[in-house]
Structure formats: C-alpha cells, structure tokens
A and B are shown apart, each in its own frame.
Chain A
Amino acid sequence: MTLAQKILARKAGKSRVEPGEFLLLDVDVALANDITAPLAIQKFKEYGGEKVHDPDRIVLVPDHFVPNKDIESAMQVKLLREFAEEQGIKHFYEVGRMGIEHVLLPEEGLVKSGDLVVGADSHTCTYGALGAFATGVGSTDIAGVYLTGRVWLRVPESIKVQLVGSFKDFVTAKDVILKLISILGVDGANYRALEFFGPALREISMDGRFTISNMAIEAGGKAGLFPVDEVTMAYEKERNIEVETLSVDEDTVYWKEVHLDLSQLEPQVAYPFLPSNTKDVTEAEREGIKVDQVVIGSCTNGRIEDLRLAAQVLKGRKVAPHVRCIVIPGSQNVVKRALKEGLVDIFLESECVFSTPTCGPCLGGHMGVLAEGEVAVSTTNRNFVGRMGHPKSKVFLASPAVAAASAVRGYIADPRRL
C-alpha cells in the first residue's frame, strides 16, 4: 500500500483500503482560522450543535488578518474567542502566542505522524511532512467534525516523487516543489496524494519538508506525504512525541511516478499568474524585472531556516532604494529564535521591516497590499490574479534566497551572483 493507504487503513481499522473507496473516519485534529471558523461555528449552531464532539481535537488559529486589521476582522476573531471559551477549547491562539497555523501546529506538537488532520485551509497538507494524513476541507466539513467527530474522505491514488542527488548552493526545498508543480501542472495531482521518496530525503530538513508538503495543493494535491524517518523522529522527539516509522511496501504500484535530480535543479521563479509558470532564476534575471516589494514569510517559507537563509543573503547589504522588503516570521517562536540568533538585527540593518507573525500580504489581507501595476517577489505559495492586492499587480514566487537577492538588486536576481 501507498503511504496514504497505510495511514487511512489504520484510521479505518482495516487491513487494507483501496483508492476510490469512500471512508467515514474519526478525525484527530480539526483546524480552522479567522476566515473559515466563523462559517463553521455558524453552521454548527444552525444544525443544532450545543456541545462540540471533542474540544481537545479542535484547534482555532486567528492568523490571516491579525492583529485585527479592521472592525469586521475583530468581530470574527471575537466569535472564535467566545466559542473557544464556551466550548472549553484549549487550543485557541491569541496574538502574542500565535503563529501562522501551519507553522504553529507542528511546532507546538499538536499534529503528529499517523494522525488524520482536516483543516478549513487548503495548506493543511503541510503536515504530510510529518507523515500525517492532512488535507484541506471546507467550513461545513469542520462543522461536521464539531457535530460528530467525523469526516468523509475518498482514498486517493498516489503519485510517487523520487528525489535523488544533492542540492547545489542556494537551491532549496522551495525550488523542488516549484519545479514539481511546473512538471505536474496546477491540477496534475487533483484528487491524488503526492508521496516523496528517494536518497535525497536525507538532505531535506523538517523545515524543508514542510515547505514541500505545503505546496502539494498548488498541483491540486490532496496530501503531500513523507515517510517517517530519522529526521521526523528527531523532530518529534524534541516535542516528547514517540512515533513509529512509516514506509511504503516494496511492490506498491503508483498511479504515476516523477523523478527529480536535485543536482540538476536551479533556483526557480514562478511567474504570474500560476505557481506552475516557472523559469530558472538565471533566465528570470536576464529579463531585468523591476521589483517594488519583497515578502519573506508565510506558511511556506516563514520558518527559522528560511529567515536564516534570507539573512545570509542580506547580511552587510541594503535593500535597493525603490524596494520595500517585508519579513514576516511564521510564529512567535520563530520571532524569538530570530532575535536570539541576531537575524532581526541583520534585517533591520538591511532596511527591511520585521513584522509580528501574520498571513498579512500573502492573501492581500494587510501589511503590504500591492497597488495597481506593482510587482512583488514573494516566498508565499500563490501568485493568482489579485492575490496580494490590486487585480493589476503581479506576484513572482521564489525561495527566501532569491527573494532576498531581489530585494538587494531591485530586480529579480540570482543569489549566487550578488
């Protein structure tokens, strides 16, 4: 069986499940945020809900518009806060303790390998990095979990991604997933799970794996799964979580297989308006694309390793005069570590802004919304029309290294040639 089949079979209490099979399963963690939870809560009440099925399995993270950007957002978060209080939900994260949901949950040890996690947020697939079956659903699904503890799922077919070779300098996990999306297309993994294997996994840290799993959805994927190995176990151990290894049977047949050699990979840039529109940075650099804003952060690249990489590029350099460079750590814990490691000083010396954790500009919410005609290089995950602001603005997606180099140069630039 594939990793997806193995986890789901275990959850279903069966020895085997087949792709295409529909299952009704008990959920380990149900996540919602300041945009999607209000709708779930409203529905829960509308359908006669009084007490949630299990408050300990519910996680509420206001992260998109916090610290609240306007009265409406403040009202939405108030609704979450009151619901958490009324239902005895411990895992509600207030500003000062919060982080972007997909950075926060693994960090806090709220999700672990083997879990079934559903989240009313499409990037819930991030936790596949830990070997959890984690997938994005809608608010109605979350209301269903509040009512019954359960969710319906179709067992997906899986795509095997075999990773070999070693990274060249300044090539990162972000480049792996951007390249893969360009190979598969934005719906190439629709209804399927991506599963990552190969000798190169040894080189990919937990932070890197989160980045890769995070963007599985940008190829349409239902999940982005990694086996559980020493890297996962070490991460879980730091959180006092004991996990079993999870691997795939030798003779497993995959729906499709893709092979990627990291030693052949260049830093990638995804052009507007699809994450699959990638070019090598060397090519992008030749085009001299002028940049107005750089964003370093998000649930894709807002972890400590991402900030270290950006700082390494920015150290001793200044952001180009016409560029606004906004650095947004993914969680309060990332803020503390960045401070301790001196990264914040580097950012401030380079004339970046350093923000409190928030989704902020990633979805054009606040903290860096683009004006008409403006261009941003961003470490986020989507570059759709209007994603970061004005429908006539443009977003190019890249790694923290490319983003930082572009901030310094003022146009899309290769970090290896600064």
Chain B
Amino acid sequence: MKIRGKVFVFGNNVNTDEIIPARYLNTADPTELARYCMEDARPGFGRGTDIKGSIIVAGENFGCGSSREHAPVAIKAAGISCVMARSFARIFFRNAINIGLPIVELTEADTFEEGDIAEVDLETGKVRNITKSTEYNAKPYPAFLRKIVEAGGWLEYCVKSLQSLS
C-alpha cells in the first residue's frame, strides 16, 4: 500500500501528554479525541482543515510517556495517514501496530520539511520525498509484526487465530 501526503514536522520526544492531553481523556470517543490531536504540541492542529491524509514526521522517541492508546487513536481518527519518526517510544510503537496506524521508522526523518510531499510504500519500506526528489529505505517490520499488520491489527489477528482453533 502506498501512502502520499503533505508533511507536518514535529520535534524530538513528543510525548503522549502533548499528543492528547489528560484534560481530554474523560472520553474514549475517537472523533472527540481527534479534535484535540497534538493539542499541546501545536494547539488547534486536530481541528485544522488540511490534516486529512497528511503525514506526521518527527524526531527521536515519538510517543513517549503514558501508555494511553488514545494517542495513536486520536492521530488515526484525525485522518493522519502515517507517522514517520527517527524512533518511537516502545508502548506507542506497540499501540500503533495493534490498532493499525501505519508507522515508519526512518533514520532520515529529519530531512523532511513542513509542507513537503512524502510517499511511503508500506510493503517495500521505500520512502520518497517528492518535493525534494530524494528516496530512502525505512526499517522493515520483523516477520512476527508483519503478520499482525497484515491481519489489520492485533485483535483481528486474535479473532482469526481463535477461529482457527475452534
């Protein structure tokens, strides 16, 4: 699957309190959470009219902090098509895989600038910066995780394996 979209750039150590602040956590409704996506990193981001289909690019340790799955849920529900970062915090990484939010670990993530158009091929790991005509190779998922991603998420995988057991 190929994803193409406009890039929004964030820095290092973007934590889940910035992605979805606790003051919005008295609901688990994705559309409500989406409105406040990235609120404390960039106020109003989730209510922007130009974020649908776009790509978030960040530095090291994206999604550090609390385990709240509301963070990747908010990003996905806001219509962000993919998150690319130099590295992800562990729990965010696992949550994104589990809920089927495409994420890509890319060493060259910091070569992207706000507004660049990026294209990501999730199968091959090829990442292109269309604006700058550059191309990179992202780290591929380990085989086990690919199975989860291919199933569409962890629960899809669980339900399938439960069905095959019975």
Chain A residues with a Cβ under 8 A of chain B = 20, 22, 35-36, 38-39, 42-43, 46-48, 64-65, 70, 72-73, 76, 119-122, 124, 136-141, 143-144, 147-148, 150, 152, 154, 186-187, 190-191, 220, 222, 274, 363-365, 382, 384-387, 391
Contact = CB atoms under 8 A, between A and B. Distances in A.
Contacts of A43: 155
Given A47-B159, A120-B69, A147-B162, 16 more contacts: A35-B68, A47-B156, A47-B158, A64-B25, A122-B91, A138-B95, A138-B98, A140-B95, A140-B99, A144-B158, A148-B158, A187-B60, A384-B17, A384-B65, A385-B18, A387-B22
Contacts of B60: 187
A288 to B, nearest CB: 28
Contacts of A387: 17, 22
A138 B162 contact: no
A386 B21 contact: yes
B157 to A, nearest CB: 9
B121 interface: no
A126 to B, nearest CB: 13
A42 B155 CA distance: 12
B95 to A, nearest CB: 4
Interface in B33-49: 40
B128 interface: no
A187 B13 CA distance: 8
Contacts, number: 131
Contacts of A191: 90
B111 interface: no
Nearest to A40: B69
A190 B27 contact: no
Contact of B61 (A140, A148, A190, A384): A190
A386 B21 CA distance: 8
B85 to A, nearest CB: 11
A391 B161 CA distance: 44
A184 to B, nearest CB: 12
Interface in B137-154: 142, 144-145, 148, 153-154
B87 A187 contact: yes
A274 B90 CA distance: 17
Contacts of B23: 364
A252 B64 CA distance: 29
Contact of A144 (B28, B89, B91, B155): B155
A147 B158 contact: yes
Contacts of B22: 64, 363-365, 387
Contacts of B61: 186-187, 190, 220
Contacts of B73: 39
B6 interface: no
26 contacts: A20-B142, A35-B25, A36-B69, A46-B155, A47-B156, A65-B26, A76-B26, A122-B65, A138-B68, A138-B91, A138-B94, A140-B154, A141-B94, A144-B155, A147-B162, A148-B161, A152-B154, A154-B142, A186-B64, A187-B87, A222-B90, A364-B23, A382-B65, A384-B15, A384-B17, A385-B15
Given A47-B155, A220-B89, A187 B64 contact: yes
B26 A73 contact: yes
B33 to A, nearest CB: 10
Determine which residue in A22, A140, A274 has the highest number of CB atoms from chain B within 10 A of its CB, and name it. A140
Nearest to B153: A140
A385 B40 contact: yes
Contacts of A150: 158
A49 B135 CA distance: 44
Contacts of B27: 72
Interface string B61-89: 10011111110110000000000000101
A141 B154 contact: yes
A36 B17 CA distance: 14
A384 B18 contact: yes
Given A147-B155, A384-B65, A22 B26 contact: no
A221 to B, nearest CB: 8
Contacts of B26: 65, 70, 72-73, 76
A322 to B, nearest CB: 26
